[in-house]
Structure 1
Amino acid sequence: MKKSLIFGFGRAGRGLHLHCLRKLHTDQRHSGLFDTKVGVVDPYASHIQEPSLAFFRNVKDVEGFAPEDTVVHICTSPELHAETLRQAAEYGYTNFMIEKPLASTLAELEMIQQLERQYGLDVLVVANWLSSSLTGKIREIVRSNRYGQLTLIVAEQDKARLTRTLSNMSHDSALDVEIPHLAALALSLGGVKADVVQASVTDMHVEGAVVPNLGTAHISLLHAGGLTSRLNSNLASPVRKRTIRLYFANHQVVGYYPCAQDDSYSWLQIYDKDGVLIEQQVMYDDPLSAMFVEYYRYFDGLCAKPESDLAFNAQVVATLCEAKMKCGLMLSKEEQGLYASAGLHYETVKTG
């Protein structure tokens, strides 16, 4: 049984991680897995009145959360992941759940990899789509080869993110918001060896305001076996959806993931070559909770290591960075080399 220590108490820390932990604390099926003691490390959250939480301004003030009994949830912004990881590691913490994306640049990724080696860290990254019941069903279909070879994956995640974008400019582009989830899903189903063949972003337009690069995002991947993946996200969409379509020689498999916290069901539909629906399943699906259970079971030594570890997410980050380079949002490796030879470091390109 592990305690939980959340670093960063914004949208991810408070709205997702704490919410999910509290839900699991009341689930009798997992009563021996989660200690109800939860701590928060955030210098800007000490004013919050939550009697069930222990607040600390920084890691050196933490008491009652022994490293061997604690899972650290890093919910800061991506550019702070490496530094937050370093601070916690220096105080003996080794079990980590890090919000996606693991890193926003290759330099940050390298720092995290160095910390893992230096301190012997065990790092898992949030990738709740991989723990989805729907994804499990899709994996079974792909591995069974019942419909022949998979040739194309199209994954989409759209929503209206206008208010949050206008009030918080912490993301540089739409490639940092929902696309990391889609990239992890595509690399899991199609294989981690994949090249970015095309990528693009567009601006968000809201009542005369223009937010650069935070409207839509698209990535096309070519996997080692010839499979193609197309990942699309629209953060200025009036319609919320999370879907995946898998194209086989004579069949199409369509999945609809839960779109919000207020409903936990997914749909799986299978169509024949004529577009006729031949099978439909509706299943309970709470991916985030399932992921938390899987990760905590692993940290307790009760199951094998989940797929979304540091090695897997290094491939996800590399894919996202390659896409950013193609969009002109990040210097190419050759350009970075020129800066490095001049004694300078400049990886990302800021716009707007």
Structure 2
Amino acid sequence: MLQPLVVGLGRSGSGLHLRTLIRLARRTADAGGPLVALPAVGCDPRAGALRVPGAPGEVTVVSTLDQALDQVDPAATVAHVCTPPRLRHEVVARLAGHGVRRLVVEKPLAASAAELDALVRLREQEGLDLAVVAHWTSSRLAGRLRRLIRGGRLGPLRRITVDQHKPRFLRSLTTDGHPTALDVEIPHSLGLALDLAGPAELRAARCWDLRLADRALPRLGGAHVELAHRSGVSTLLRSDLGAPVRQRSVVCEFEGGTATAHFPLSEDDDHAQLVVSPFGHGTACAPDGEGEAGHHVFRDDALTDFLECAYRNFASGTAGAANFPLACAATRLLCAAREHCAAVPQAPAGSR
């Protein structure tokens, strides 16, 4: 078994990684094939003030990385790096210096192209087995979209539109890990768009302020990113962080129809939906045959599936090779979008 070390216990580290790892440890142990060794070790400077998931004995929380490393065996550890992007290289370098070679790193990989280059060099020099969190691209829903694209039943793919909307007022006021709206939801959809339609160049990007009653938070209100893929597909990514409702949807427009994918909105539910609509046909329910026209609903606990796959691959030595190039490509596009937004006037408060 491999023991988790989670560095950074914010929303991602505690609310997603730790919670999912505990669930995965319990489930695999109950099934007779334990995969995750508990207690997981969590590291955050705010350790004394944090509430973390899990029963007694399932999580140990400390305030420094040195304290955390004293409690784990580097050869049997998987480090989850859930710090803000600007700290990723520093943390990975310290972990590597202590002999940790298996890492799960949150996206985006870095806050700048130079930092990404440094991380790529570090990975190669230290022989790190590094998996980048990509539960959107590894989800069952994304798998169905890929099969629709490859199968050609709706003709060639022409356009992708991704909408990721949610009200994010309180977190934007109380945390500083995401400097712009580009860093909140867009990294999910960038990787997915590249996975579905292939390499791309940035066509346009814009951010706008998050406006509250007494202030405006610069560039945190939302973002639009436009991509031109070498395959001829165009992509529009939209994220409104002042929206009154939540939405996580992907519309793939084909020559002969559309496929609308709805990702689960939060950890409160783990079901995805896919609506396949060939032109000239209805959308009567078709529970069998995912390529058929209709409205399909199915379980898709993507983060749990992603982490289980990563841990099994870590055990066999094959974890990070598959998705690292895609994560690097998505990070470079994100860096280009940041630079573009910094160089042009901000957009007015956004419409979708």
Secondary structure in 2 aligned to 1:110? helix
Give the 4+ runs in structure 1 shifted more than 6 A: none
Confirm or deny that 1:124 pairs with 2:126. no
**Any conservation in 1 of the 2:130–2:321 contact (CA below 8 Å)?**
no
- Residue 60 (structure 1) shift: 3.0
- Give me the TM-score of the superposition, normalised by structure 1: 0.88
What is the distance in 2 between the residues matched to 1:155 and 1:41?
Answer: 34
Secondary structure in 2 aligned to 1:33? coil
Secondary structure in 1 aligned to 2:303? helix
What is the distance in 2 between the residues matched to 1:144 and 1:302?
Answer: 32
| Selected match of 1:180 from 175, 184, 187 | 187
What is the distance in 1 between the residues matched to 2:312 and 2:24?
Answer: 13
| Selected match of 1:45 from 44, 47, 52 | 47
Q: What pairs up with 1:11-90 in 2 under 5 angstroms?
A: 11-27=11-27, 28-29=30-31, 31-46=33-48, 51-52=56-57, 53-61=59-67, 62-90=69-97
**Any conservation in 1 of the 2:81–2:105 contact (CA below 8 Å)?**
yes
| Selected match of 2:242 from 236, 247, 252 | 236
Amino acid at match of 1:19: R
- Residue 8 (structure 1) shift: 1.1
**Any conservation in 2 of the 1:75–1:99 contact (CA below 8 Å)?**
yes
Per the alignment, residue 144 of structure 1 pairs with 151
What is the distance in 1 between the residues matched to 2:50 and 2:220?
Answer: 31
What is the distance in 1 between the residues matched to 2:227 and 2:153?
Answer: 24
What is the distance in 2 between the residues matched to 1:4 and 1:298?
Answer: 15
Deviation per CA, 1:192-246, whole angstroms, max 9, x where unpaired?
x211111111111111310111111111111111111111111110110100010
Deviation per CA, 1:126-150, whole angstroms, max 9, x where unpaired?
1111121111111111111122110
Per the alignment, residue 273 of structure 1 pairs with 279
Deviation per CA, 1:280-337, whole angstroms, max 9, x where unpaired?
210001111111111111101186656432x22111111011112221269xxxxxxx
Per the alignment, residue 163 of structure 2 pairs with 156
What is the distance in 2 between the residues matched to 1:252 and 1:23?
Answer: 36
Deviation per CA, 1:54-105, whole angstroms, max 9, x where unpaired?
3333333323421121100001111001100011110000100011111111
Amino acid at match of 1:18: L
Per the alignment, residue 348 of structure 1 pairs with none
The answer for unaligned runs of 5 or more in structure 1 is 331-352
CA RMSD of aligned residues (A): 1.9
Confirm or deny that 1:259 pairs with 2:274. no
When the two structures are aligned, how many residues end up with a matched partner?
328
| Selected match of 2:140 from 125, 133, 155 | 133
Per the alignment, residue 350 of structure 1 pairs with none
Confirm or deny that 1:219 pairs with 2:225. yes
- Give me the TM-score of the superposition, normalised by structure 2: 0.88
**Any conservation in 1 of the 2:130–2:319 contact (CA below 8 Å)?**
no
Confirm or deny that 1:97 pairs with 2:81. no
| Selected match of 1:190 from 188, 197, 200 | 197
Per the alignment, residue 8 of structure 2 pairs with 8
The answer for unaligned runs of 5 or more in structure 2 is 284-292, 345-352
